Structure 1
Amino acid sequence: MTIRLTNTFAKSVKFEGKQARYFDSSDPGFGLVVGAQKKSFVVNVRVGGKKKLETIGYFPELSVEEARERARKHKVALRDGLVGDGSLGDLFDHYFKVHGPELAKSTVNQYRRIRKKFSDWESLEPAYLTIERCRVRFLAITENDGPIAANAAAIFCQAVLAWAVERGLLPENYANPWLRVKRNSRKARKRFMNKGEIKRYWASMAELRSEGRRWQMSFYALEYLLLTGRRKEEALSLRHDMLDLVNGTVSYPRTKTDPKVFYLSKTVVELLSKVPKIKGCSFVFASFGKGNTPIDEHTLYSVHKEICKRAEIENLTLHDLRRTVGSQMRLAGADLADIADQLGHDDIGTTKKYYAHISPSRARDQADNVSAIMADQQGK
Structure 2
Amino acid sequence: MDNFILYLREEGSRESTITTYIGIVVQFNKWYEETFGKEIDPAAVSALDIQDYKQYLLHTAKNRTNGRLSPKTINKKIEGLRTYFRFLHEKGLIATNPVEKVKPQKIQNRSDSVRWLDRNEKNYLVRVMNTVSEWKNKEHLMIRNRALVYLMLHAGLRIGEVTNLELNDIDLVKQIIYIQDGKGGKFRRVEMNKDLLIALKQWLEIRPTDKGNNVFISQKGPMTTPGIQSIFKELKAKTKLEDLTPHALRHTFCHDLAQKGVSLSLIADLAGHTDLNTTRIYIRSSEEERRGAVDKLSGER
**Which TM bucket (shorter chain)?**
0.5 to 0.7
In the alignment, is the contact (CA less than 8 A) between 1:287 and 1:295 conserved in 2?
no
- Partners of 1:163 and 1:352 in 2: how far apart? 32
Task: Map Cα deviations across residues 221-277 of structure 1 (whole Å, 9 max, x no partner).
Answer: 323212222233332332222221222112234544853222223432333341535
Is 2:153 aligned against 1:247?
Answer: no
Structure with the bigger percentage of helix: 2
Alignment-derived partner of residue 191 in structure 1: 115
Is 2:231 aligned against 1:303?
Answer: yes
Query: How far apart are 1:196 and its partner, in Å?
Result: 2.1
- Cα pair distance change 1:96/1:279, threshold 3 Å: farther
Structure with the bigger percentage of strand: 1
Query: How far apart are 1:281 and its partner, in Å?
Result: 3.7
Is 2:124 aligned against 1:200?
Answer: yes
1:314 to 217, 227, 242: 242
TM-score normalised per structure 2: 0.61
- Partners of 2:98 and 2:144 in 1: how far apart? 42
- Partners of 1:342 and 1:174 in 2: how far apart? 36
In the alignment, is the contact (CA less than 8 A) between 2:21 and 2:81 conserved in 1?
no
SS in structure 1 at match of 2:110: coil
Is 2:135 aligned against 1:209?
Answer: yes
- Cα pair distance change 1:126/1:280, threshold 3 Å: farther
In the alignment, is the contact (CA less than 8 A) between 2:71 and 2:106 conserved in 1?
no
Alignment-derived partner of residue 111 in structure 1: 17
Query: How far apart are 1:346 and its partner, in Å?
Result: 5.9
In the alignment, is the contact (CA less than 8 A) between 1:251 and 1:260 conserved in 2?
yes
In the alignment, is the contact (CA less than 8 A) between 2:143 and 2:199 conserved in 1?
no
Is 2:187 aligned against 1:259?
Answer: yes
- Cα pair distance change 1:127/1:165, threshold 3 Å: farther
Gaps of 5+ in 2: 36-52
- Partners of 1:362 and 1:183 in 2: how far apart? 28
Alignment-derived partner of residue 263 in structure 2: 336
Partner AA of 1:94 in structure 2? N
Task: Map Cα deviations across residues 284-315 of structure 1 (whole Å, 9 max, x no partner).
Answer: 2347647xx6512x333343244224422234
SS in structure 1 at match of 2:251: helix
- Partners of 1:110 and 1:237 in 2: how far apart? 12
Alignment-derived partner of residue 271 in structure 1: 199
- Partners of 1:279 and 1:155 in 2: how far apart? 43
Alignment-derived partner of residue 158 in structure 2: 231
Is 2:149 aligned against 1:222?
Answer: yes
SS in structure 2 at match of 1:188: helix
What is the aligned-residue RMSD (CA, Å)?
A: 5.1
In the alignment, is the contact (CA less than 8 A) between 2:180 and 2:187 conserved in 1?
yes
In the alignment, is the contact (CA less than 8 A) between 2:156 and 2:250 conserved in 1?
yes
1:102 to 4, 11, 15: 11
SS in structure 2 at match of 1:271: helix
In the alignment, is the contact (CA less than 8 A) between 1:114 and 1:153 conserved in 2?
no
Partner AA of 1:188 in structure 2? S
Mapping of residues 48-197 of structure 1, within 5 Å: 91=1, 93-103=2-12, 107-112=13-18, 114=20, 139-141=62-64, 150=73, 154-155=77-78, 157-159=80-82, 161-163=84-86, 165-166=88-89, 187-189=110-112, 190-197=114-121
- Cα pair distance change 1:310/1:302, threshold 3 Å: same
Larger deviation, residues 353-362 vs 236-245 = 353-362
Fraction of identical pairs, as percent: 16
Give the number of aligned pairs. Answer: 267
Query: How far apart are 1:108 and its partner, in Å?
Result: 1.1
In the alignment, is the contact (CA less than 8 A) between 2:115 and 2:248 conserved in 1?
yes
- Cα pair distance change 1:326/1:203, threshold 3 Å: same
SS in structure 2 at match of 1:261: strand
Say which one has the larger Rg: 1
Query: How far apart are 1:363 and its partner, in Å?
Result: 6.3
In the alignment, is the contact (CA less than 8 A) between 2:116 and 2:248 conserved in 1?
yes
- Partners of 1:151 and 1:323 in 2: how far apart? 22
Partner AA of 2:3 in structure 1? H
Query: How far apart are 1:351 and its partner, in Å?
Result: 4.1
Query: How far apart are 1:150 and its partner, in Å?
Result: 4.7
SS in structure 1 at match of 2:4: helix
SS in structure 2 at match of 1:166: helix
- Cα pair distance change 1:225/1:334, threshold 3 Å: same
